[in-house]
Structure 1
Amino acid sequence: MNNVLEINGEKAIIAFDPEIRMLRGEFIGLSGGADFYAESVNELIEEGRKSLAIYLDMCREKGIEPRRKFSGKFNVRLDPKDHAAAVIAAAAAGKSLNEWVVGALREAAEEPQYGA
């Protein structure tokens, strides 16, 4: 995935913030916010490690589950024409719409990831 960095087993989205001219990381999949900033990639990784450690310590102290729970269900709103096209594509692939969507999501999420 573009702009995804794994730090100590947690995924973070990385972006450049032009207002402050720094890299910004934000952990995803956590039950609360944990972001971090730096001027270089190496500094960003180190700041990410620190931010994550502080967040996890705070969760332990307060008895909070640090990671979001995912149900495995979500609703998607789309144009009826896109819905019909997806049903046709799924049928042509010999799959249910759910199987086809899951496959498309997995394929989209399988881009290379960079760890730290």
Structure 2
Amino acid sequence: MKQQLLKYKGYHGTVEFSLEDDVLYGKVIDVNSLISYEGKDLTELRSDFEGAVDDYLAMCEAHHESPEKAYTGSFNVRLEPEMHKRLALYARSHNESLNTSVKQAVAQLLAE
């Protein structure tokens, strides 16, 4: 099952629940800082999520800091050595960089 995310001002947040506490909760996943929120129902959860994002942005502005960027466009991928070798040979045989081959594979995966 695909996980549903809250969205607000370019930020995304998880939707989780605690049967023990009878509460919905989540955290913003677009930053390294811990920004959490909760609510008794989805309306309250969404409102608290949006308030948490607004508070984070206001705090950044008050401290003259830029909001964190969680996605820089660069990340490490770990592969088995044989897969790494096959990918490198594929890229070379198609006259492209390893990075280009990986970008094309990811684009195809996300298009599905």
Residue aligning to 2:58: 57
Determine the C-alpha separation between the residues in 2 that align with 1:76 and 1:68.
Answer: 19
TM-score scaled to structure 2, two decimals? Answer: 0.69
Higher Rg of the two aligned structures: 2
Of stretches 67-76 and 36-45 in structure 1, the one that deviates more from structure 2 is 67-76
The 5 Å alignment of 1:20-35 reads: 20-30=21-31, 32-35=33-36
Offset at 1:106?
A: 3.7
How many residue pairs end up in the alignment?
A: 111
Residue aligning to 1:98: 99
The structure whose residues are more often strand, as a share, is 1
TM-score scaled to structure 1, two decimals? Answer: 0.67
SS of structure 2 residue aligned to 1:16: strand
Task: Work out whether residues 13 and 25 of structure 1, in 8 Å CA contact, stay in contact via their aligned partners in 2.
Answer: yes
Segments of 5+ residues of structure 1 without an aligned counterpart are: 112-116
Task: Work out whether residues 7 and 45 of structure 1, in 8 Å CA contact, stay in contact via their aligned partners in 2.
Answer: no
Determine the C-alpha separation between the residues in 1 that align with 2:64 and 2:44.
Answer: 30
Offset at 1:38?
A: 1.9
Determine the C-alpha separation between the residues in 1 that align with 2:14 and 2:93.
Answer: 35
The 5 Å alignment of 1:1-116 reads: 2-18=3-19, 20-30=21-31, 32-68=33-69, 70-87=71-88, 96-109=97-110
Of stretches 85-94 and 12-21 in structure 1, the one that deviates more from structure 2 is 85-94
Note the aligned Cα RMSD (angstroms): 3.1
- The aligned amino acid for 1:25 is G
Task: Work out whether residues 32 and 66 of structure 1, in 8 Å CA contact, stay in contact via their aligned partners in 2.
Answer: no
Structure 1 residues 94, 23: CA separation in 2 closer, same or farther (over 3 Å shift)? Answer: farther
- The aligned amino acid for 2:44 is E
Could you say which structure has the greater relative contact order, defined with CA pairs below 8 angstroms and 6 or more residues apart? 1
Misfit runs of 4+, over 6 Å: 91-94
